[in-house]
Amino acid sequence: MRFSVLVLGNSSATPIYERHPTSQVVNHNEQLYLIDCGEGTQIQLTRYGIKSNRINHIFISHLHGDHYLGLVGLVSSMHLMGRKSDLHLYGPAPLQEILALNFKYSETELRYNLIFHPTNPDETEVIFESKLLRVESFPLRHRIACTGFRFQEGVRPAKLNMEKVAKLEIPPALLNGIKWGLDFTDRDGQVYPSNELTTPAPVPRSYAYCSDTVRIPDYLPAIHGANLLYHESTFLHEMKDRAVETFHTTSLEAGEIAAEAAVGHLLLGHYSARYKTKELTLLLDEARSAFPQSELSVEGKWYDVV
pTM: 0.92
Q: How far apart are CA 13 and CA 271, in angstroms?
A: 9
Q: Note the pLDDT of residue 157.
A: 86
Question: Among 9-18, 38-47, 263-272, 273-282, where is mean pLDDT lowest?
Answer: 9-18
**CA angle, 19 then 24 then 26, to 5°:** 155
231 in helix, strand or coil?
Answer: strand
CA–CA separation, 142 and 139 (whole Å):
9
pLDDT, tens digit (0-9, with 9 covering 90-100), for 200-213: 988 999 999 999 99
Answer yes or no: is pLDDT of 52 > 90.
Answer: yes
pLDDT tens, 106-162? Answer: 999 999 999 999 999 999 999 999 999 999 999 999 999 999 999 999 988 899 999
Of the candidates 126, 143, 152, 144, the one whose C-alpha atom is nearest the C-alpha of residue 229 is: 152
Q: Which pLDDT score is estimated for 173? A: 95
Annotated catalytic residue within 66, 86, 212, 304: 66
Coil vs helix vs strand at 302: strand
Name the CA radius of gyration of the chain, rounded. 22
Three-state DSSP state, 290: helix
Distance from C-alpha of 233 to C-alpha of 269, rounded to nearest angstrom: 6
Whether 66 sits among the annotated catalytic residues: the reply is yes
